[in-house]
């Protein structure tokens, strides 16, 4: 698959197949998208959310970036998160990493790759936080695998530390945050058994009270 023309031909064939199998498919999606899931995954071309999850268009809202990071100053990711939680009212947020992630590998090396090193910088903080655990693992491949998992766990908590998710819980909205890792070699998802469903599972320092405009104004002044 190398020519752009092939893509248009693929697209026409796909559209035809959809119409044949479900004539109302596009009409339904035009009027409403009501996905239950937000997927935050790696940009890696081998990790396509819909196909891995077996979901159709309209069933998962997707944000992808290199190494599936949730950075608190990233307006792009935060906007996706806010829209998914507050407007679409997704019930599950899935942070999905993958073993063999090049972004994790780059961040765990001392090589410079250019601008992207700045994006990947926070992964070094995760390495540093878990350094004794990581460096106790004897082989390089297993160290890398564990870093992919620890990165996901860190991003799951970053999602939970946002005002967006905490305000949703404060409103009583049902919202679960999950951490998964995809294995390229067998196509299977591994559940990291982290399922955050409420503020009780958050470290105290990251808990935020309800927004109070008067106090906010006072603090700003
Ligand atoms: Co990756």
Q: What are 158-215's pLDDT values in tens digits? A: 999 999 999 999 999 999 999 999 999 999 999 999 999 999 999 999 999 877 766 6
Is 42 catalytic? The answer is yes
- Residue 111 lies inside a defined structural domain of this protein: yes
Q: What percent of the chain has pLDDT over 70?
A: 95
- Among 39-43, 120-124, 214-218, which stretch is predicted with the lowest mean pLDDT? 214-218
Contact 92, 36 (CB under 8 A): yes
pLDDT at 109: 97
- Residue 83 lies inside a defined structural domain of this protein: yes
Give 221's pLDDT tier (boundaries 50, 70, 90): low
- Residue 9 lies inside a defined structural domain of this protein: no
Cα of 102 from ligand 1 centre, angstroms? 5
Is 77 catalytic? The answer is no
- Strand, coil or helix: what is 59? coil
Domain count, the chain: 1
- Residue 89 lies inside a defined structural domain of this protein: yes
Which parts of the chain fold into alpha helices (H)? 4-21, 25-31, 49-53, 75-82, 102-107, 116-129, 131-135, 140-160, 163-170, 213-220
The string over 140-170, giving b where at least 16 C-beta atoms fall within 10 Å of a residue's C-beta and e elsewhere, is: eeebbbbbbbbbbbbbbbbbbbbebbbbbbe
Range of the domain at 168: 32-220
pTM of the model: 0.93
**Domain CATH for 61:** 3.40.1050.10
Residue that has been written with the tokens 């998802």 in this structure: 189
pLDDT at 216: 65
Half-sphere exposure of 197 (CA within 13 A, CB side): 3
Is 101 catalytic? The answer is yes
Rg (CA), the chain: 20
What mean pLDDT comes out for the span 87-105? 98
Phi, psi angle pair for 65, to nearest 5°: -150, 170
Give 43's pLDDT tier (boundaries 50, 70, 90): very high
Cα of 184 from ligand 1 centre, angstroms? 10
Half-sphere exposure of 144 (CA within 13 A, CB side): 16
Is 96 catalytic? The answer is no
pLDDT at 32: 81
Cα of 121 from ligand 1 centre, angstroms? 15
- Residue 131 scores a pLDDT above 90: yes
- Residue 117 lies inside a defined structural domain of this protein: yes
Residue among 63, 98, 161, 190 flagged as catalytic = 98
Q: What is the mean pLDDT of the chain?
A: 95
Phi, psi angle pair for 78, to nearest 5°: -65, -35
- Residue 15 lies inside a defined structural domain of this protein: no
- Residue 115 lies inside a defined structural domain of this protein: yes
Residue that has been written with the tokens 């942070």 in this structure: 95
Distance CA 154, CA 163 (A): 17
What mean pLDDT comes out for the span 125-144? 97
- Residue 19 lies inside a defined structural domain of this protein: no
What mean pLDDT comes out for the span 73-96? 98
pLDDT at 220: 67
What mean pLDDT comes out for the span 116-145? 98
């Amino acid at each position: 698959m190398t020519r752009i023309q092939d893509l248009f031909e693929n697209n026409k064939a796909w559209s035809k197949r959809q119409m044949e199998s479900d004539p109302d498919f596009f009409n339904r999606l035009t009027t409403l998208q009501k996905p239950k899931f937000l997927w935050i995954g790696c940009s890696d071309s081998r990790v396509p959310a819909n196909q891995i999850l077996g979901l159709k268009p309209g069933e998962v809202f997707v944000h992808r970036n290199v190494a599936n990071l949730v950075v608190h100053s990233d307006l792009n990711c935060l906007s996706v998160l806010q829209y998914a939680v507050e407007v679409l009212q997704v019930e599950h947020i899935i942070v999905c990493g993958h073993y063999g992630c090049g972004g994790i590998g780059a961040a765990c090396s001392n090589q410079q790759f250019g601008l992207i090193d700045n994006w990947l910088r926070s992964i070094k903080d995760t390495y540093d936080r878990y350094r004794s655990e990581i460096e106790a693992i004897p082989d390089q491949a297993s160290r890398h695998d564990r870093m992919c998992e620890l990165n996901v766990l860190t991003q799951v908590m970053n999602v939970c530390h946002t005002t967006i998710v905490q305000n949703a819980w404060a409103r009583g909205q049902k919202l679960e945050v999950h951490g998964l890792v995809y294995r390229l070699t067998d196509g299977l998802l591994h559940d990291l058994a982290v399922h955050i469903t409420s503020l009780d599972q958050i470290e105290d320092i990251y808990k935020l009270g309800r927004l109070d405009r008067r106090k906010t104004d006072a603090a700003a002044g």
